[in-house]
Amino acid sequence: MNKIIILLLAVTIVSCTSAKKEEPVKPAELESSIVSLTGQQLKQAEIQISLAQTKTLHETILVNGMVDVPPQNMVSVSFPLGGYLKKTQLLPGMSVRKGEVIGLMEDQSYVQLQQDYLVDKAKMDFLSADLKRQKELSDADATSKKSYQQVLSDYTMTQVMLKSLEEKLKIIGIDPAHLSVSNISRTVSLRAPIDGFVTKVNVNIGKYVNPADVLFELVNPDDIHAALSVFEKDMPLIKKGMKGTVALSNDPNKKYEVEVLLSTKNINEERTGLVHCHFENPSHDLLPGMFLNGSFDLAATASKVLPEESVVRFEGKEYVFIAKDSSHFEMVEVQTGTKQEGFVSIKPLITVNWENTQFVTKNSYRLLGMLKNKAEEE
Q: CB under 8 Å to 61, separation ≥6 — which residues?
A: 230, 234, 237, 238, 295, 296, 298
| Residue 53 domain flag | yes
Range of the domain at 261: 61-72+221-297
The residue among 48, 47, 51 whose CA lies nearest residue 370 is: 47
pLDDT band at 292 (very low <50, low <70, confident <90, very high): very high
How many helices (H) and strands (E) the chain has is answered by: 5, 24
Claim to verify: residue 324 and residue 353 sit in the same structural domain:
yes
Q: Give the CATH number of the domain where residue 346 resides.
A: 2.40.420.20
Of the pLDDT bands very low, low, confident and very high (cuts 50, 70, 90), residue 7 is very low
**200 and 318 belong to one structural domain:** no
Considering the domain architecture, whether residues 226 and 213 belong to the same structural domain is answered as no
Going by the DSSP 8-state scheme, the letter that residue 129 receives in this structure is: H
Whole-number pLDDT of residue 85: 94
- Torsion angle, alpha carbons of 344, 348, 350, 352, to 10: 50
pLDDT tens, residue by residue, 230-259: 988 888 888 888 999 999 988 888 999 999
Q: How many Cβ atoms sit within 10 Å of the Cβ of residue 90?
A: 19
Q: Per-residue pLDDT for 170 more than 50?
A: yes
- Do 66 and 44 share a structural domain? no
Q: What is the pLDDT of residue 1?
A: 44
Write down the pLDDT at residue 24.
39
Go through 317-355 and write b for each residue having 16 or more CB atoms within 10 A of its CB, e for each that does not.
Answer: eebbbbbeeeeebbbeebebbbebeebbbbeebeebeee
Q: What is the pLDDT of residue 26?
A: 39
CA atoms within 13 A on the CB side of 329: 32
Element (H, E) at 305: strand 301-307
Q: For the segment 338-366, what is each residue's pLDDT rounded down to a tens digit?
A: 777 788 888 877 677 777 888 888 888 88
Are residues 103 and 185 part of one domain? yes
- Indicate whether 28 belongs to any domain: no
CATH of the domain at 164: 2.40.50.100
Is-contact 283 67, C-beta < 8 A? no
Into how many domains does the chain fold?
Answer: 3
In the listed set 158, 190, 219, which residue is the last one of a domain according to the structure?
A: 219
Q: Please check the confidence at residue 189 and state whether its pLDDT lies above 80.
A: yes
The answer to whether residue 26 sits within a structural domain is: no
Mind listing the pLDDT tens digit for each residue in 81-123? Answer: 899 999 999 999 899 999 999 999 999 999 999 999 999 888 8
* 12, part of any domain: no
pLDDT of res. 218: 92
In a domain, 21, yes or no: no
Sign of CA dihedral 363, 364, 365, 369: positive
Instruction: Indicate the residue among 219, 234, 265 that finishes a domain.
Output: 219
The answer on 358 and 313 residing in a single domain is yes
146 with 243, same domain? no
With respect to residue 19, please indicate whether it lies within any of the assigned structural domains: no
Quick: pLDDT tens for 257-291: 999 999 888 888 888 899 999 998 877 778 888 89
**Within-domain flag for 17:** no
Same domain, 306 and 277: no
> Percentage of residues in the chain with pLDDT exceeding 90?
30
- The rounded radius of gyration (Å) of the Cα atoms in the chain is 40
pLDDT of residue 32: 67
- Mark whether 281 and 321 lie in a shared domain: no
Question: What 8-state DSSP symbol labels residue 308?
Answer: G
| 136 and 172 both lie in a single domain | yes
pLDDT at 31: 55
Q: Per-residue confidence at 147, pLDDT binned at 50, 70, 90?
A: confident
Residue 8, domain member (yes or no): no
Task: Identify the pLDDT of residue 87.
Answer: 94
**In a shared domain, residues 331 and 231:** no
Sign of CA dihedral 157, 161, 166, 171: positive
Domain match, 176 and 293 both: no
| H-state helical runs in 226-266 | none
Q: Which of 165, 189, 219 is the last residue of a domain?
A: 219
